[in-house]
Amino acid sequence: LARNHIRFAGKPLGRPPKITPENKDELMRMKAQRRPEYRERIPIEGKFGQGKYGYRLNNIRAKRADTSVAWINSIFLVMNLLILVRVFICLRNLAAKIASWVTKKSMPREIPFARACQFSSNRNSYLAAHI
């Protein structure tokens, strides 16, 4: 990892250091830094499992390495297309709500549903649209 300039984002191996007043802030900072990195890896690593949302990427058995790479790339392409479908559905619903809001005779001061349409990550996908 050091030769390729890759920083290891996991928990360090071996016995954990003893917490002292001098190193307490540094240990807490390192723990807080690992937490979001771990949460970013969860959706990706979940695709390798056998659960409800797993694509069993560990079980791809092809005779040639380039065939395995093609299978994995096509699976990730489909996953990204599913994310785009969710985004387009959210935009379509938002456009329909705006159209119905514009056609009303009484115009409210603010659009109450604009805050409700937000994008957040969840364990099933990288980007999910929620209304």
Q: How does pLDDT run across 58-99, given as a tens digit for each residue?
A: 677 788 888 888 888 888 888 889 889 999 999 999 988 888
What mean pLDDT do residues 97-105 have?
76
Residue type for position 66? D
Q: How does pLDDT run across 22-33, given as a tens digit for each residue?
A: 999 999 998 898
Q: What are phi and psi of 74, to 5 degrees?
A: -70, -35
Show the DSSP H helices in 55-122 as ranges. 65-103
Of 95 and 114, more confident: 95
- Cβ-contact 112, 101 below 8 angstroms: no
| The residue to which tokens 């040639």 are assigned | 64
Q: What are phi and psi of 129, to 5 degrees?
A: -95, 130
pTM exceeding 0.75: no
Confidence of residue 51 (pLDDT cuts 50, 70, 90): low
* Distance between CA atoms of residues 128 and 120, nearest Å: 6
What mean pLDDT do residues 1-9 have?
83
Among 115, 117, 113, which residue's Cα sits nearest to residue 130? 117
pLDDT of amino acid 126: 44
* Distance between CA atoms of residues 131 and 115, nearest Å: 9
Mean pLDDT (the chain) is: 76
Which SS3 state, helix, strand or coil, does residue 112 take? coil
pLDDT at 129 over 80: no
* Distance between CA atoms of residues 76 and 46, nearest Å: 13
